[in-house]
């Protein structure tokens, strides 16, 4: 899915495929191991990460891709690092991997297929819709919003409304 999105949006399909394959290397580690392995590597652990260690699988997976598979490509590592929470600064490759993770057919939620189709046509609109649905999910369950996701919202959900000039002014 990552490769398909990349082809549609001018990102490097080989990098997208590689990031897609390696993005969840640390996904099955329990919380205490995620915290310990990040601490050992001096991977920053913010307040949100401390309370929700599962999200650390993203930066730790990027580090493991380097250590175990000798991945040195900064763009690939960035896409792995940002695949869960997003970020205020995301390249097209970062977006492609983030969207593939959120919209892959194995996930089952209302509107998934429609949002995936939208993301195939328009990367920024796909980001807006996907981040918007994460936000709704979190708000409905009274779950906290990570600062990185808030920053991504600001980049994709707020600014484009002005930048895209959707109303033709």
Least distance between Fe ion and beta carbon 165 (Å): 34
Least distance between Fe ion and beta carbon 54 (Å): 9
Closer CB to Fe ion, 27 or 41, in the complex? 27
Site size for Fe ion, by CB under 5 A? 1
Q: Rounded CA gap, 151 and 87, in Å?
A: 6
How far, in Å, are 10, 28, 104, 153, 165 from residue 88 at the CA level? Answer: 20, 26, 22, 7, 21
Q: Which residue number is nearest to Fe ion in terms of Cβ? A: 24
Closer CB to Fe ion, 28 or 42, in the complex? 28
Closer CB to Fe ion, 24 or 37, in the complex? 24
| Binding segment toward Fe ion, per CB under 5 A, in 6-14, 24-32, 46-54, 156-164 | 24-32
Is 122 a binding residue for Fe ion by CB under 5 A? The answer is no
Is 24 a binding residue for Fe ion by CB under 5 A? The answer is yes
| Binding segment toward Fe ion, per CB under 5 A, in 17-25, 86-94, 123-131, 155-163 | 17-25
Closer CB to Fe ion, 102 or 153, in the complex? 102
Applying CB under 5 A, the residues found at the interface with Fe ion are 24
């Amino acid at each position: 899915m990552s490769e398909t999105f990349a082809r549609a949006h001018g990102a490097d399909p080989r990098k997208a495929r590689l990031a897609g394959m390696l993005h969840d290397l640390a996904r099955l580690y329990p919380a205490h191991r995620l915290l310990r392995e990040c601490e050992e590597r001096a991977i920053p652990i913010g307040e949100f990460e401390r309370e929700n260690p599962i999200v650390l699988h993203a930066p730790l997976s990027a580090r493991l891709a380097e250590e175990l598979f000798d991945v040195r490509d900064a763009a690939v590592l960035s896409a792995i690092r940002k695949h869960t929470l997003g970020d205020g600064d995301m390249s097209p490759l970062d977006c492609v991997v983030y969207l593939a993770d959120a919209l892959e057919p194995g996930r089952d939620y209302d509107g998934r297929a429609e949002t995936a189709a939208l993301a195939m046509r328009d990367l920024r609109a796909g980001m807006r819709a996907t981040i918007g649905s994460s936000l709704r999910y979190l708000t409905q369950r009274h779950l906290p919003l990570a600062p990185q996701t808030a920053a991504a919202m600001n980049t994709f959900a707020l600014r484009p409304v002005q930048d895209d000039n959707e109303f033709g002014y």
